[in-house]
A = this chain, B = another copy of it.
Amino acid sequence: MPSTAPQRADLGARFHHVRRFTEQLCRPLCPEDYMLQSMPDASPAKWHLAHTTWFFETFALGPLGVAPLDPAYGYLFNSYYNAVGERHDRKSRGLLSRPTLEEVYRYRAQVDERLTQKLTTLSEARFDELAPVIELGIQHEQQHQELLLTDIKHAFAQNPLRPSYRPPGRIVGHPPAAPVGQRGTPPPSSFIFYEEGMSEIGWAGAGFAFDNEGPRHRVYQAAFALGHRLVTSGEYLTFMLEGGYQRPELWLSDGWSAAREHGWEAPLYWEKRDGRFQSLTLDGLRDIDPAEPVCHVSYYEADAYARFAGARLPTEVEWEIAATKLPLEGNFVESGALHPVAVAKATTPTAARAPEEASLARAPQQLFGDVWEWTGSAYSPYPRYRPVSGALGEYNGKFMCNQLVLRGGSCISSVSHLRASYRNFFPPQARWQFSGFRLARDESAR
């Protein structure tokens, strides 16, 4: 019995769990739903199922000499890895009715079987080489689980019937979320102060992290203040009612152009029906809950709101300084809500608490989960960053331009997928992710 047996068992179990969870997320879909590609940035569910499988087949089984099950799949299901060959036109993924759904599920099963078998039988040396790739494949599939949900949400929003992803009240493997709109008003927004000084940010610990989270490095940070919770839909509605979308002085120039060009007048998925705003959620159309974090806004809208509020967005350094010591708690996919929820109301007045409690109470809330938080930081390499070698070096590094960093994970992220050092990134005009934001402010040293 190999000395890595426990690691193998753990990796195998997590591999199995992640693969099943993808399929579980697909369960509410009818076969036609699997085909939907509503924009080039999104992919059909069937493609996500196949691509994540291709990833394991190519990067984990390939180096072990296992021939691909179907040579055509390398062309069809490669996303963007130039180093492993030509590939299908990204915006035409919705035209791949073949291979059929059945064939794709069979492909998944066969690759799973092969990988599971290899995992127990390969040599120690080979396992050491392969384990990081399988780990990466697991993390990769978790990312696609999020995309699978954001993409199906976007596709359903194009259908005049406004279908619900799951039957009302029914949740994928979890108890139903509390009814919306009954959570009362959130505590008024306040700011938490951080002293100036040298810090270290970036991943340095054991365990998995993407290459773009490192190397850990020193930064000098001036004093700043961070909003203690996310900006809410109610607050955002005030911005809208006070002409936020009509006042160019609040906007970046590119943002103003984007808003004009696309006719933005509210967050994505908001629509006015019978005089009030509703939003398409994965549970169908619902009234806006003013207490819940605003979601599906672009960087431009987040930035304009911040200017409206006399504040700014935090940098990713500021965010990480605040997040680094906090427990990884929040509203993740495991809650089953599949939607951001209002911050918990403080039940006891802060004044009544002991100092340490007050200090605890002053930790920022909702840093993890609910919505990915736009930061004001362009997605650039950390000092001395080196992408991993080979095709997998294309995973993150080549996207370090024209994107902004988002932090903290969302209500459709798996908790096991997140870290304080995690750097997500999207172009500033992207709105179909579960993206929201919190405010920050400059502070004089006190």
Contacts and interface: CB of A to CB of B under 8 A. Distances in A.
Given A76-B160, A222-B217, A399-B252, A95 B383 contact: no
Interface in A184-230: 198, 217-220, 222
A404 to B, nearest CB: 8
A32 B254 contact: no
A97 B35 contact: yes
Interface residues of A, number: 64
A174 to B, nearest CB: 24
A69 interface: no
Interface in A115-163: 155, 158-161, 163
A377 interface: yes
B398 A159 contact: no
A35 B29 CA distance: 14
A160 B380 contact: no
B30 A32 contact: no
Contacts of A88: 160
B249 A82 contact: yes
A377 B380 CA distance: 8
Contacts of A428: 401-402
Contact of A220 (B158, B218, B377, B399): B218
Contacts of A400: 252
A82 B158 contact: no
A101 B222 contact: no
Given A31-B32, A249-B83, A442-B383, A94 B97 contact: no
A263 to B, nearest CB: 15
A161 to B, nearest CB: 5
A96 interface: yes
A97 B253 contact: no
A422 interface: no
Given A72-B161, A222-B217, A383-B222, A32 B399 contact: no
A378 interface: yes
A160 B99 CA distance: 11
A95 B384 contact: no
22 contacts: A30-B101, A32-B35, A33-B98, A36-B95, A36-B97, A72-B160, A75-B160, A82-B248, A88-B160, A94-B94, A95-B158, A96-B159, A198-B220, A217-B222, A220-B220, A222-B383, A222-B384, A249-B394, A303-B401, A378-B380, A383-B442, A402-B402
Given A97-B159, A377-B380, A402-B428, 8 more contacts: A30-B97, A31-B31, A32-B97, A83-B249, A92-B158, A97-B163, A218-B222, A376-B381
Interface of A: 30-36, 38, 46, 72, 75-76, 80, 82-83, 88, 92, 94-101, 155, 158-161, 163, 198, 217-220, 222, 248-249, 251-256, 299-300, 303, 376-378, 380-381, 383-384, 393-394, 398-402, 428, 442
